[in-house]
Amino acid sequence: MNAIPKEQFDRMIDRHFRFEAENDVNGVLSTMVDDVEHDVVGSPTGPLRGQQAARGFYDALFADLSGESVTTLRRHYGPDFVVDESLWEGTAPGTPFGISGDGRRLAFRLLHVFDMAPDGKIKRENVWIDLASILQQLQAPAVIA
């Protein structure tokens, strides 16, 4: 198997994260193959298959969390995969993970394992979330300014 150039991985993943920060579901889906596997570890739905199922996930996610940025902390590359550790920053206008966000600011780490198709699109996205950090931030009393 020929390795996909690192720069091609970076362009697609950075584009994917930019669309997530903009809450752009169609943009996010444009970075994925039609039969994508989308797996957020610990999600009660388990791994989702296909863009329509991923669309439902992102519609719900963007109602609960409003991203402002995803900053890559480090990346590790294989011939057809990337492991990306990132810092997500934004607000929680909805009820992420069943907890009222009350519009509070959030920052938490993510670990993504992306399997890439030969055309450079994402064929599998496996996401590990620092849920303990999210729970700590959201369970703290809201500060009224």
Domain count, the chain: 1
The answer to the question of residue 1 being in a domain is no
pLDDT digits (tens, 9 = 90+) for 91-100: 999 999 888 9
User: CB–CB of 29/54 below 8 Å?
Assistant: yes
In degrees and rounded to multiples of 5, residue 101 shows phi and psi of -85, -30
| Domain that includes residue 47, residue range | 6-139
Whether pTM > 0.85 for this model: the answer is: yes
Per-residue model confidence (pLDDT) at position 142: 55
Whether 145 is covered by a domain: the verdict is no
Instruction: Give a yes or no: residue 144 inside a domain.
Output: no
Whole-angstrom Cα distance, residue 120 to residue 30?
Answer: 11
Q: Is residue 134 part of a domain?
A: yes
- Determine the Cα–Cα distance for residues 17 and 27; give it in Å rounded to an integer: 10
Indicate which CATH number applies to the domain containing 50: 3.10.450.50
Cα 131 to its chain centre, rounded Å, is: 13
Q: What is the CA radius of gyration of the chain?
A: 15
Question: Under a CB-based contact definition with an 8 Å cutoff, are residues 142 and 56 in contact?
Answer: no
Span 59-89, pLDDT tens digits = 999 999 998 889 999 999 999 999 999 999 9
Query: What three-state secondary structure class fits 7?
Result: helix
